[in-house]
C-alpha cells in the first residue's frame, strides 16, 4: 500500500510520461492485462489512457486493471491514470523520510 507521500512522489514522476497502455471499447481483456503487466515489469510506473469508447468508469477501469496486474493506482486524473508496481530490481527509489 502506497502512502500519501509516495503517491505524491509518483505523481510528480508520472506528469511527463506518455501513455503506454490504451483502454478502449474492448475494455479489460486478458491480452490487455498481459501487456500492462509486461509494461510494469519494464517501467515500474506507467500511464494508462482511457478512450471515450470505453463504457466502464475511469475509477472502475483503474481499480480492475491494478488488481489484475498486482499493481497500485497512484493517481486518476481525467481519462488517464498512473499504475505502479515494484519491480524485482527496483528502478525507482522513494525519497527517505525524516
**Domains, the chain:** 4-84 (3.30.110.60)
pLDDT at residue 14, as a whole number:
94
pLDDT for residue 26 is more than 90: no
Q: How confident is the model at residue 94 (pLDDT cuts 50, 70, 90)?
A: confident
pLDDT at residue 58, as a whole number:
94
Task: Report the C-alpha gap between 79 and 77 in whole angstroms.
Answer: 6
The H or E element containing residue 37 is helix 30-43
Q: Are 31 and 94 in contact (CB under 8 A)?
A: no
The H or E element containing residue 61 is helix 58-69
Q: 73 or 87, which is more confident?
A: 73
Amino acid at each position: 500500500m502506497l502512502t500519501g507521500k509516495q503517491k505524491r512522489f509518483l505523481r510528480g514522476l508520472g506528469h511527463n510520461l506518455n501513455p503506454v497502455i490504451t483502454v478502449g471499447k474492448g475494455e479489460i481483456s486478458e491480452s490487455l492485462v498481459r501487456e500492462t503487466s509486461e509494461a510494469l515489469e519494464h517501467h515500474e510506473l506507467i500511464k494508462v489512457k482511457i478512450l471515450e469508447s470505453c463504457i466502464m468508469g475511469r475509477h472502475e477501469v483503474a481499480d480492475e486493471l491494478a488488481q489484475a496486474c498486482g499493481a497500485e493506482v497512484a493517481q486518476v486524473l481525467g481519462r488517464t491514470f498512473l499504475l505502479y508496481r515494484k519491480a524485482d530490481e527496483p528502478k525507482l527509489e522513494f525519497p527517505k523520510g525524516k
